[in-house]
Amino acid sequence: MNFKKYIKAVGTGPKGNRDLEAEEVIDAISSILDNKVTQSQIGAFLIAWRTKLETNDELIAAVKALKKYVKYQKIENSIELGYSFDGRTNNPFLFPLYENILKEFFEKNKDVKELNLVISGDFLQPAKNGITTKEVFNSLDLKQHVFFFDRVEYLKELSDITPLRHELGLRTVFNTIEKLLNPGESEYGVTTAFHKPYVKKYLAMFKEYYKEVLVVKASEGSPEVFKDGKYWKEVNGEIVEIPFSLKDFGISYDKTYENITLEEALEIVKNPDEEIIKLAKFNIALYLVFAKRVDSLEEAWKRLN
């Protein structure tokens, strides 16, 4: 195997670069995860590939390559929440509140099919600092409705590249493809994007692994909504955009934090105020819609309250 040919394909320059074939992407990613190439070669390839800009077809192949290494454990009746693996600095995580909200919801709405939430996490990844899902989950005791998958256990090969990724200090293809690898074999998946081109990328990359994938415009690389936004899904080959406004549901939230600490984030969810609770319920309402447990946000909100 001559890994240098992949570096040359993506790192020669505008006139010499070419897109990689699916088999080449899978071979390159596999060589990286199997530690068959040097750290210098890996770094050169990842940076050059990012600079060239990965095509949708290359990203789809990269996801396939990663999924060959995933250790799966099925969580029935679940939706995967695709959080980014870099840090959160401006908002607390809301998912610690979801378990009790869902428990109460299903006790009162026995006609609705159960829904569990799957979240993945790992050590902090580039490109920014902050707190992670792993840190928060390890500080709490969540055992029902919210399931956490530690990448050290379900995809150790990628987790082991963390030191190299920090040494590079830049986003790479892994930042794009790591959020929805579905270790819980969930039926539905949702992640977040700010720019329309990435909506198309995420839907293309992940749709074959779920009944349906949705992309929501949310905060800090996670499918947690803190302000007005929208979500996208594919219907008959077309991307449909659905907007929402928090004020329509009586929610007025305008808090922001600067470099929120783990202790501050935990205190917020251990002693939540009314607005945080309403915000968490709104996010649950979105997930109930995404997983087709209810027909509309209005129905979900009414049932939750």
pLDDT in tens, 95-126: 999 999 999 999 999 999 999 999 999 999 98
CATH number at residue 8: 1.20.970.10
Tens digit of each residue's pLDDT (9 = 90 or more) over 111-165? 999 999 999 999 999 877 899 999 999 999 887 899 999 999 999 999 999 999 9
pLDDT at 1 (0 to 100): 62
Residue 82 β-bridge partners: 191
Question: Would the pLDDT of 183 be above 80?
Answer: yes
Q: Are 52 and 98 in the same domain?
A: no
Q: Are 136 and 217 in the same domain?
A: yes
Please indicate, yes or no, if residue 277 is contained in any of the structural domains.
yes
Tens digit of each residue's pLDDT (9 = 90 or more) over 50-59? 999 999 999 9
Which phi and psi (to 5°) does residue 213 adopt? -115, 140
Alpha helices in 53-146 (DSSP H): 56-67, 98-108, 133-138
Give me the residue label for tokens 């840090």: 87
CATH number at residue 89: 3.40.1030.10
Q: Are 60 and 92 in the same domain?
A: no
The maximal CA–CA distance of the chain, rounded, in angstroms, is: 63
Question: Would the pLDDT of 303 be above 80?
Answer: yes
Q: Are 27 and 82 in the same domain?
A: no
Question: Would the pLDDT of 194 be above 80?
Answer: no
- Average pLDDT on 250-262 reads 92
Q: Are 48 and 167 in the same domain?
A: no
pLDDT at 24 (0 to 100): 98
pLDDT at 216 (0 to 100): 97
Please indicate, yes or no, if residue 271 is contained in any of the structural domains.
yes
Q: Are 44 and 91 in the same domain?
A: no
Please indicate, yes or no, if residue 234 is contained in any of the structural domains.
yes
Q: How many other CB atoms are there within 10 angstroms of residue 12's CB atom?
A: 13
Q: What is the pTM of this model?
A: 0.95
Please indicate, yes or no, if residue 290 is contained in any of the structural domains.
yes
**Total domains present in the chain:** 2
pLDDT at 141 (0 to 100): 86
Question: Would the pLDDT of 22 be above 80?
Answer: yes
Cα–Cα distance, 157 to 69 (Å, whole number)? 8
Angle at 233 between CA 19 and CA 284, to 5 degrees: 125
Cα–Cα distance, 125 to 87 (Å, whole number)? 7
Q: Are 62 and 207 in the same domain?
A: no
Angle at 108 between CA 102 and CA 111, to 5 degrees: 95
Q: Are 52 and 82 in the same domain?
A: no
Three-class SS state of 46: helix
Cα–Cα distance, 108 to 132 (Å, whole number)? 32
Q: Are 101 and 160 in the same domain?
A: yes
Q: Are 112 and 198 in the same domain?
A: yes
Choose between 155 and 196: higher pLDDT. Answer: 155
pLDDT at 60 (0 to 100): 98
Please indicate, yes or no, if residue 279 is contained in any of the structural domains.
yes
Please indicate, yes or no, if residue 72 is contained in any of the structural domains.
no
Choose between 221 and 190: higher pLDDT. Answer: 190
Three-class SS state of 216: strand
**Closest Cα to residue 91, out of 224, 180, 234, 211?**
224
- Average pLDDT on 40-51 reads 97
Tens digit of each residue's pLDDT (9 = 90 or more) over 79-100? 999 999 998 999 999 999 999 9
Question: Would the pLDDT of 256 be above 90?
Answer: no
Cα–Cα distance, 94 to 301 (Å, whole number)? 17
Last residue of a domain, one of 67, 86, 119: 67
- Per-residue tokens: 5: 């040919």
Last residue of a domain, one of 47, 67, 87: 67
State CA 108 to chain mean position distance.
Answer: 30
Please indicate, yes or no, if residue 111 is contained in any of the structural domains.
yes
Q: Are 134 and 272 in the same domain?
A: yes
Which strands make up the sheet holding 238-244, listed edge to edge? 146-150, 116-121, 78-82, 188-192, 212-216, 229-235, 238-244
Please indicate, yes or no, if residue 73 is contained in any of the structural domains.
no
Q: Are 171 and 203 in the same domain?
A: yes
Look up the domain containing 49 and give its range: 4-67
81 Rama class: left (phi>0) / alpha (psi -120 to 50) / beta: beta
Last residue of a domain, one of 14, 37, 67: 67
